[in-house]
Structure 1
Amino acid sequence: MTAPALDYSAPFQHAIELIGKRWSGAVIRALMGGTCRFNHLLAGIPGISDRVLTERLRELENEGLVERLVDPGPPVRVSYRLTDLGQSLRPVLRTVDSWARRELNGVKPGDEAAV
């Protein structure tokens, strides 16, 4: 007996890789609280470097999930917020959070093999 063929879905794969990329979920989740400046995001996401935060914000902006807002000042201030598309991830992340709290409670990073 052979396993049934999987229905490969390019949009699904793209979405999983986008939100599953290291730090992307944390950035999106941090922006769920509202508009944030770069340094606020950097301080609010423990362990992320400024280089990686910059990369993730650019990627999420290119995907249409995050909007970069520039206040010409003086001084010039840049902040970020989720677009409507980014906000539409709220129920998805809420479901993932609920599953993780229920199923992965107590699992430490690096212990995934034991799961």
Structure 2
Amino acid sequence: MTEGVQHRRAETAERYEVFHTDCLARDVVDHVTSRWGIWVLISLRSNSLRFYELRESIQGISEKMLAQTLRALVQDGLIWREVEPTTPPQVTYGLTEFGRDVGEPLKELFDRITRRLPPRDAE
């Protein structure tokens, strides 16, 4: 099962008012740029991962914060969530088309930063 909300396309005549506090687009930007949101999107850029795999790939994140971040990103339509009816349930997450589109500049930013940093052994 895939969950998420639909979003108004940028091509529509009426744009979001991102400087208003009740703007949906502002909430999505807050979730993407949150302390952990950006790392979840970067972690999922290559392939889908289960909850525990995401937790292992993002060092320093607690289970509670990962669950909250995933819930927000699923609600925003950036990632999908699939539950396999096993005992215990196996939950897998991946990027939606919207998530890949939003995540691409983040990947680019991440790659630019890591290219510009001095080599690890030069520290």
TM-score (normalised: structure 2): 0.68
Matched, 1:38 2:51: yes
Q: Using the TM superposition, give the Cα deviation of residue 89 of structure 1 relative to its aligned residue in structure 2, in angstroms.
A: 2.3
1-side partners of 2:92 and 2:79: how far apart?
Answer: 10
State the partner residue of 1:19.
Answer: 32
Alignment identity in percent?
A: 29
Which one of the candidate residues 76, 88, 92 is aligned to 1:79?
Answer: 92
Structure 2 unmatched ranges of 5 or more? 1-16, 119-123
Q: CA deviation at 1:87?
A: 1.0
TM-score (structure 1 length as normaliser): 0.72
Q: Which has the higher contact order (CA 8 A, sep 6+)?
A: 2
Give me the CA root mean square deviation: 2.2
Aligned equivalents of 1:15, 1:101: Cα separation in 2: 25
Amino acid in structure 2 at the alignment position of 1:81: G
1:98 to partner: Cα distance: 3.3
Rg larger for: 1
Aligned length: 97
- Cα distance, 1:101 vs structure 2: 2.7
Post-superposition Cα deviations, 1:48-97, rounded to whole Å, max 9, x if no partner, equal 00000000000000100011101113552111111111011242113211
* CA distance, structure 2, for counterparts of residue 74 and residue 37 of structure 1: 15
Between the aligned partners of 1:57 and 1:15, the Cα distance in structure 2 is 12
CA distance in 2 between partners of 1:65 and 1:45 (Å)? 18
Runs of 4+ in 1 over 6 A off after TM superposition: none
> Would the alpha carbon gap of residues 70 and 20 (structure 1) be closer, same or farther in structure 2, given more than 3 Å must change?
same
Q: Which structure has more helix as a fraction of its residues? A: 1
Q: Structure 1 regions of 5+ residues with no counterpart? A: 1-8, 107-115
